[in-house]
A and B are shown apart, each in its own frame.
Chain A
């Protein structure tokens, strides 16, 4: 007699339910001390469904297969000197920003999901959070392994964990995850699981990694898409968690809405770094930030929030402002890095005539009018030997920690300033979105570790730029400044000259 095989749904039910127990010698509230203070009400944890119905045994099987495929590519890339086949030496700067600014957040996500997996009372979300925690650890490991090959040749990579905790622009993604990880487990799940993974992460991993493919970086596109194949599972977890919370109790709606508003805006600010990577840093651009925003926020987010409207949830506050900013944000961010290139651990450059034509085509409403004249002026100044550096330390937004370089909604010629008073002190913000977040949790955000304030307080190695660069472990004259004239450029040009010699 043949034994009938269980269907996927039954297998999932058997292998994810009944794994937990009611504690006897300690009250459940002491075992799970963090899942009530946020005000979220859960009536029935067993209503949680993982639509992928992935069990741990299948998880290990598929993840092992993904790793085998990925490491075959990484090995092939290294053995065949793939670094010489990228489009241009400038491209490596994208990887420096990725490894210093994004990979450490994979690790933060790993820690955060481990915490959520420990502290959520229901077994369904605990299994899902555990898998995601392992995924995130895999992501930082594969990213370090991939980019370590570039570290053999290019500057600015080797001190990435040290830099992540200190360098001014890296405090932007760091503070984003510090904020999420110091919240309760439900806010963490909405912040990272829903707002970041579901609504925003596509903008990072899909068009940007496609850009890596287009620029000859076989190893990065492979880790990127391998990570993103986990992300589709993370996205279903994100959408599941929000539906679950909204279905459990009507009192959850205003709490969840507040978190969606907050984390959408915070995510939008962090992703401004990706906007400039896509628009300015890829030698062969593949898709503009504005186009990516249209596909992944306006279309995909539109469909999502239309679906969630049945629970009374509305699209994030200031989504319209974020959409309007998609016309500006990459231009404003890259201009900040161009001005502060002496303090950045990657190289900058002004776009050349051909690249500016691409930007004009992609940004017909804004580039020629507001941004091209500035680049042309800076190019002219550089040609005259007066390359522009901004030597003043910028004021930072207390919430997103980005220099206050953004402009007023509807007026791209006026810098946007907002401020709030709290216990006799004035705090400054780049936008209404960031001000609202502070006003809702001032006790948290007055503690922000703002890099510029820390320099002025004498906590960053000294008062001069070389002192601070030393504190960052940023090699002055190698890691920083323009690409043109850098050791990276010299090496790249030698590789190109070798290729020509070999051809003859």
Chain B
């Protein structure tokens, strides 16, 4: 059975570089646009790489800044200084 990892963000300028980084780094990610929010789903795992976000944002980015734009999630979360992921893998 399918196990979707999922992240939902505000649909705003702060979130856009993060959403773009996810789209670039996670092949096959599905996008559900809702008024005011964007839900990203992918089988098994979604990863956000700090370097990818910084490349798009043009400034240093702390993965904990995700608290300002994240609305919801599904999956087991793992976070360190360089990446943030939700995953159903063990």
Contacts and interface: CB of A to CB of B under 8 A. Distances in A.
Interface residues of A, number: 43
A269 interface: no
Nearest to A287: B34
A70 to B, nearest CB: 11
B71 to A, nearest CB: 5
Nearest to A212: B36
Given A206-B37, A210-B36, A233 B78 contact: no
Interface of B: 1-6, 8, 10, 32, 34-37, 39, 63-65, 67-81, 88, 90
Contacts of B39: 206, 295
Interface string A62-77: 1001100100000000
Contacts of B77: 51-52, 236
Contacts of A295: 32, 39
Given A53-B79, A206-B8, A225 B68 contact: no
Interface of A: 7-9, 51-54, 58, 62, 65-66, 69, 202, 205-207, 209-214, 221, 225, 228-229, 231-233, 235-236, 239, 286-287, 295, 299-300, 302-304, 306-307, 310
A268 to B, nearest CB: 18
Contacts of A202: 72
A206 B71 contact: yes
Given A213-B36, A225-B10, A231-B72, 5 more contacts: A69-B68, A212-B36, A221-B35, A303-B5, A307-B76
Contacts of A310: 90
B80 A8 contact: yes
B72 A51 contact: no
Contact of A232 (B3, B70, B80, B81): B70
Given A62-B64, A300-B6, A7 B71 contact: no
B1 to A, nearest CB: 6
A445 B70 CA distance: 38
